[in-house]
Amino acid sequence: MASLSTVFDSLKTAQAKLALENRNRKDAALAAVCKAVGAARQEILAANAADVEKARTGGMKESLIDRLLLTEKRVDSIIEGIETVIRLEDPVGKIKSGWQIPNGLLIEQIAVPLGVVAIIYESRPNVTADAFSLAYKAGCAILLRGSSAALESNRALVKAVKKGLETTGIPAAVELAQSGSRDEVDEILCARGRIDAVLPRGGGGLIRRVVDNARVPVIETGEGNCHIYVEPSADMNNAVDIIENAKLQKPGACNAVETVLVHRDALGPLMPLLAARLAGKAELRCDAASGAAIGAPPQGLVLKDAVESDWETEFLDYILAVKTVNSLNEAVGHINAYGTSHSEAILTNDLRAAEEFCRQVDAACVYVNASTRFTDGGVFGFGAELGISTQKFHVRGPMGLDALTTIKYRISGSGQIRE
Amino acid sequence: MASLSTVFDSLKTAQAKLALENRNRKDAALAAVCKAVGAARQEILAANAADVEKARTGGMKESLIDRLLLTEKRVDSIIEGIETVIRLEDPVGKIKSGWQIPNGLLIEQIAVPLGVVAIIYESRPNVTADAFSLAYKAGCAILLRGSSAALESNRALVKAVKKGLETTGIPAAVELAQSGSRDEVDEILCARGRIDAVLPRGGGGLIRRVVDNARVPVIETGEGNCHIYVEPSADMNNAVDIIENAKLQKPGACNAVETVLVHRDALGPLMPLLAARLAGKAELRCDAASGAAIGAPPQGLVLKDAVESDWETEFLDYILAVKTVNSLNEAVGHINAYGTSHSEAILTNDLRAAEEFCRQVDAACVYVNASTRFTDGGVFGFGAELGISTQKFHVRGPMGLDALTTIKYRISGSGQIRE
């Protein structure tokens, strides 16, 4: 591969051209990519088999191997993912606002592509195609930096993507960074003026490393230490339904709940029901008061004493921490101290409590009487999702294609000068 | 003063409270600040006199001393500036979008304050009051890091601001960083999770230093190497009016033009008129072809040969560089290579040229047949201006109060769980 510096230049050049393409031409290019990925199916599966074999030899855990693995069906899903992007509206060129100022100048605020975007991600090869297709639709060039474990799979995928794009005459605007070295990541993170934004997708360690070292703008995504606060006026049967759903429907999701905060006056009605529901399904890590409120433990309940580190942990597992609070303020204080500004819920029938919780909790998504699991670009109606931003700058919460745009002012005059 | 770390904590606490205040209460607090600044007028002028004397003794240039100097009238302007902010709409709490999803959840996208903002600026003390009042209105706490030359003035101003806020019972949410050391700046730039954004306001050197060293999000502002491209179909008399205005109406402004690009077919009609108009008013630095096209130099014209570094320079002075180009593409290429993505104009009567220029130039503001001097929050109708963002992330172009907000999703349900 060419040096990264050359790659940055070619992506910038390609992006400048891609930015001028209309939706029809971009969609046609993406359709050609679908075809090319389909045609390269055997090649992609063979490359993936090599990655998987190497990973197994290297002792990778089976759960991670499952994330790496491609099958016929998963290649179909990759193609379907691109087809979904084809159906999305083009975010580029939208006139977001427009007005005339007194001297007759017309000011229009127009959505334009963000530019060259880098994504640094862990082993799932489907992210390669997803990220490319979303970036392409938004008129952005993309630099893909996958994990070394998925290198052959990603090479085969990007080769197919480029082959599809070749047929269209539009510049490729996609490159794979593939030396696998850490220096490569550092070079991407420091490429000010050449990379317009970097998206880390993966675990907390990856995200923190990127955030700490980046000199280019970062979009932090996906760390979710989410809470549900149960207020005494809540419907306790519904509360148990919601907590079970938020914890168990997909425990590995970033919007799964990790700690339930229970008002002391809600302990009595809630805890026995919750313990009965989660017995045999999830381990409870309770503080003294909430543990005591369970009473006689139902059969199959795994109950442990919560420790300080539990409040900080995104378990991503069949584990739920439970903490007693004396007030809404204490719940809000705990969430703002330990949360990751992702998704936070209150279960209540008290209007003022709902209002205060929503205003005071500092998070991308605040819920009243619903599961935190709804924080999702698809659920929100964005059609596709780039990730969930947990930062406040540029974009917050589920990210659709708009997150890959910025604006430009076009000012049209007839000779105006400033007095 | 307390250590910066303590200051960060107190600003965060104050901001969390300020975020919950309504417009009436914030406006009343700002009105109290106006009164307090008026009451402290003599104290502020005395402190400023001390700064000015020290600067003069230290040999500061008179033009810089003028920026530092406060007078009765300038204190009035500071108060009027705060009054202007009082009249602005509150950007916080606005429901920017809202919709129901099929399961009945109501999703609302609500504007909320960005958080704790730091501003690092050079000697003008009026920025102290401007930045405070804008941040306050947007519900943000602000850390002010002025230059050491203005330390006494800033101390007196912030003391008056705090005194005004005291009367309201709302937390102050404003602090002055005043050790004057470079370490202090570095501590601000690295305060991830404590400072939500940093705004450098000043020359290119300051901005680059901040951008290179910051670990917190930065909003780059104000570097303007702006261009006007004169296409052969332009009305040449109007072109001369616009260039004169863009260069001379305020040469020190970031939206002033620095280089005029002239299509070779426009050299003949344009250059003699332009030279006649600017003779005695601005120095021309021309490439060979544009210089030759002037013909017999009019009386008083200062004409020099342009050199490569002229294309890169934001003169902020009575100097205009002129370069000949062979095509619109060459003009766009020059602008995208040397420009600072601030304000770029085409003068033309050719519809396709206007369209292509606007689409291909990568800048916050692209103009057709108007002076670049209109890039300004006031002119755009934003009521007040935090600066002109030259970056693509979070905010681009003139920044109103909205630039100090982010969003939060509020999701209201009645017990929904995810299927």
- CATH code of the domain containing A136: 3.40.605.10
| Cβ contact A241–B374 (<8 Å) | no
Chain B residues touching residue A220 (CB < 8 angstroms): none
- Together in a domain, A73 and A217: yes
- Residue ranges in chain B whose pLDDT is less than 50: none
Chain A residues touching residue B344 (CB < 8 angstroms): none
Confidence of residue A2 (pLDDT cuts 50, 70, 90): low
Q: Average pLDDT for residues A153-177, to the nearest whole number?
A: 93
Backbone angles phi, psi at B324, to 5 degrees: -90, 135
Instruction: Decide the pairing of beta strands B197-201 and B174-176.
Output: unpaired
Chain A residues touching residue B373 (CB < 8 angstroms): 417-418
Residues B366 and A31: their CA atoms lie apart, in Å, by 33
| Mutation for testing the A interface, residue in B257, B374, B382, B402 having most A CBs under 10 Å | B374
Quick check: is A388 in a domain? no
- Together in a domain, A210 and A350: no
Nearest Cα residue in chain A from B337: A193
pLDDT of residue A343: 98
Count how many pairs of residues, chain A against chain B, have C-beta atoms within 8 Å. 184
Quick check: is B417 in a domain? no
- A56 to chain B, any CB pair closer than 8 A? The answer is no
User: Which A residues, 114 through 173, put their C-beta within 8 Å of a C-beta on chain B?
Assistant: 114-115
- B208 to chain A, any CB pair closer than 8 A? The answer is no
- Together in a domain, B155 and B35: yes
- Together in a domain, A237 and A209: no
Name the minimum distance, in Å, from the CA of B210 to any CA of chain A: 11
- Together in a domain, A20 and A157: yes
pLDDT of residue B389: 95
- A374 to chain B, any CB pair closer than 8 A? The answer is yes
The pLDDT tens digits of the residues spanning A47-89 come to 999 999 999 999 999 888 999 999 999 999 999 999 999 999 9
CA dihedral sign, ordered B364, B370, B376, B381:
negative
Residue B260 belongs to what domain range?
226-379
The pLDDT tens digits of the residues spanning A314-352 come to 999 999 999 999 999 999 999 999 999 999 999 999 999
Domain count, chain B: 2
- B415 to chain A, any CB pair closer than 8 A? The answer is yes
- A416 to chain B, any CB pair closer than 8 A? The answer is yes
Residue B392 has its nearest CB partner, among A99, A115, A242, at: A115
The pLDDT tens digits of the residues spanning A91-139 come to 999 999 999 999 999 999 999 999 999 999 987 899 999 999 999 999 9
Chain A residues touching residue B101 (CB < 8 angstroms): 374, 379-381
- B327 to chain A, any CB pair closer than 8 A? The answer is no
Percent of chain A with pLDDT over 70: 99
Quick check: is B387 in a domain? no
Chain B residues touching residue A208 (CB < 8 angstroms): none
Quick check: is B247 in a domain? yes
- A208 to chain B, any CB pair closer than 8 A? The answer is no
Nearest Cα residue in chain B from A102: B379
- The CATH number of the domain holding residue B257 is 3.40.309.10
- Together in a domain, A75 and A110: yes
- Together in a domain, B232 and B216: no
Quick check: is A381 in a domain? no
pLDDT of residue A169: 84
- Together in a domain, A52 and A12: yes
Residue A393 has its nearest CB partner, among B336, B394, B410, at: B394
- A397 to chain B, any CB pair closer than 8 A? The answer is yes
Q: Residue A111 is encoded by which pair of tokens?
A: 């959505």
Backbone angles phi, psi at B398, to 5 degrees: -55, 135
Quick check: is A197 in a domain? yes
Q: Which ipTM was obtained for this model?
A: 0.94
Quick check: is B386 in a domain? no
Give all strands of the β-sheet with A303-305 in edge-to-edge order: A303-305, A283-286, A319-325, A257-263, A226-230, A343-347, A365-370, B405-416, B106-113, B95-100
Please tell me what DSSP assigns to residue A297: P
Residue B370 has its nearest CB partner, among A105, A246, A360, at: A105
- B318 to chain A, any CB pair closer than 8 A? The answer is no
Residue B417 has its nearest CB partner, among A245, A359, A366, at: A245
pLDDT of residue B63: 84
**List of residues 6+ apart from A107 with CB closer than 8 A:** A98, A99, A100, A101, A409, A410, A411, B380
- Together in a domain, A192 and A233: no
Mean pLDDT of chain A: 95
- Together in a domain, A235 and A207: no
- Together in a domain, A299 and A341: yes
Dihedral of the alpha carbons of A219, A222, A223, A227, in degrees to the nearest 10: 120
Q: Residue B339 is encoded by which pair of tokens?
A: 């420009």
pLDDT at A1 over 60: no
- A355 to chain B, any CB pair closer than 8 A? The answer is no
pLDDT of residue B207: 87
Quick check: is A417 in a domain? no
One-letter identity of residue A389: S
- B308 to chain A, any CB pair closer than 8 A? The answer is no
B352 burial (CB, 10 Å; 0-12 / 13-18 / 19+) is exposed
- Together in a domain, B184 and B234: no
Q: Average pLDDT for residues A298-325, to the nearest whole number?
A: 97
